[in-house]
Amino acid sequence: MRIDTMPLDSTLFENIQHGQLDFPIQYYVDELHKFNNYKVPLHWHFELEFFVARGGNVLVQVGQHQIKLQANDGIFISRNTLHSFEQINEDEICECPVIVFSAELIAPHTSILYKKCIMPILGDKNLPYVVLHAQEKWHKEILIKLDYIFALLQRYGAESIYGSFPILDFDIDSISDVGFEMQVQCLLNQIWLLFALPVVTTDKRELHSQVRLQNMISFIQKNYMNPVTLEDISNSTNISKSEVPRCFHSYLECSSRVTSLTV
């Protein structure tokens, strides 16, 4: 199968198996410069996904949200979530490593680990994605561990339905094929521990406020060429006009005494 096409059904479901039944994880390289309009089309799958931008900036669509990733930033995308990736600058060569995997590779769905550490994230419809910024310490730890997983699967993992991918340099001195599946699972569990604990221990109201702020910023970025009013921003996230400045004040130290606004 060509690497610049995807087998999508009428619901945009990517109708392929990611990994094997006994090792449900697959490594890919999204060669965005080879896709039509430099864009992986909108699609979804049952599995979870980690994507890292390499070679340039990437515009990610998750549902109705637009997120701009700087080079070397990453993103986690939850299950059953429509998403796409687009290379922003046509003269760049973005070759972006990706893993798509079943949550049961971390823990069986019948286990208490799944119930306590996985379901709080997968079951939260207000948390379809989490951006990983390379400049933030605990995000950087996750990105480094992802590089190890990418390197292991690139060398020892099974080839995907899309065939071979370009060999990427993950700046790792040496890796071994001894128990590489266990190495991958161990790294994935370490990532989930770093990734999940800040989420599952965060107050749900605070978490939803963060998502609302991300949505408002995304709306402003998409519409900054036109006048944007306080009412426009509030309508974009289904909150009151008075809540908008409070939300910005909580996270960005903007004045909360705003009654009208045009961007």
- Residue 188: count of CB within 10 angstroms of its CB: 22
**Domain identity same for 87 and 150:** yes
Q: What is the DSSP letter of 77?
A: E
- The reply to whether 76 and 180 lie within a common domain is yes
Give the pLDDT confidence score for residue 210 in this predicted structure. Answer: 61
Measure Cα distances from 157 to 6, 104, 171 in Å: 21, 18, 18
- The number of folded domains in the chain is 2
Q: Are residues 93 and 217 in the same domain?
A: no
CA distance 205 to 210: 9
pLDDT for 227: 86
Residue 115 domain-assigned? yes
* HSE value, Cβ hemisphere, 13 Å, CA-based, for 230: 15
Clarify whether residues 95 and 221 are in a common domain.
no
CATH number at residue 93: 2.60.120.280
Asked whether the beta carbons of 21 and 13 are under 8 A apart, the reply is: no
Domain that holds residue 117: 25-201
Q: Are residues 58 and 90 in the same domain?
A: yes
Residue 19 lies in a domain: no
Together in a domain, 107 and 233: no
pTM equals 0.77
Examine residue 16 and state whether it is found in any structural domain, yes or no. no
The whole-angstrom separation of Cα 215 and Cα 128 is 12
Residues 229 and 197 in one domain: no
Fill in the amino acid letter for 62: V
Please report the pLDDT score of residue 139 as a whole number: 93
pLDDT of residue 259: 46
Let me know if residue 11 belongs to a domain.
Answer: no
Residues 177 and 248 reside in one and the same domain: no
Q: Assess whether 182 and 213 both reside in one domain.
A: no
Residue 123 and residue 157 in one domain: yes
Are residue 129 and residue 64 in the same domain, yes or no?
yes
Same domain? For 191 and 77 the reply is yes
Residue labelled with tokens 């006009």: 241
What single-letter DSSP state applies at residue 33? G
72 domain-assigned: yes
Position 202 scores a pLDDT of 47
| In-domain check, residue 107 | yes
| Distance between CA atoms of residues 151 and 82, nearest Å | 27
Contacts of 159 (CB under 8 A, 6+ apart): none
pLDDT by position in tens, the chain (length 263)? 555 678 999 899 999 999 999 999 999 999 999 999 999 999 999 999 999 999 999 999 998 889 999 999 999 999 999 999 999 999 999 999 999 999 999 999 999 999 988 998 888 887 899 999 999 999 999 999 999 999 999 999 999 999 999 999 999 988 999 999 999 999 999 999 988 776 655 444 555 666 677 678 778 878 888 888 888 888 887 788 778 887 776 555 454 444 444 44
Give which of 71, 30, 15, 52 is closest to 148, Cα–Cα. Answer: 52
Which of 61, 57, 10 lies closest to 32 in space, CA to CA? 57
- Decide which of 175, 201, 227 is a domain's last residue: 201
Say if 155 falls within a structural domain: yes
3-state DSSP assignment of residue 40: strand
For residues 25 and 19, the answer to whether their CB atoms sit within 8 Å is: yes
φ, ψ (nearest 5 deg) of residue 237: -125, 10
CA 18 centroid distance within chain:
17
Residue 15 lies in a domain: no
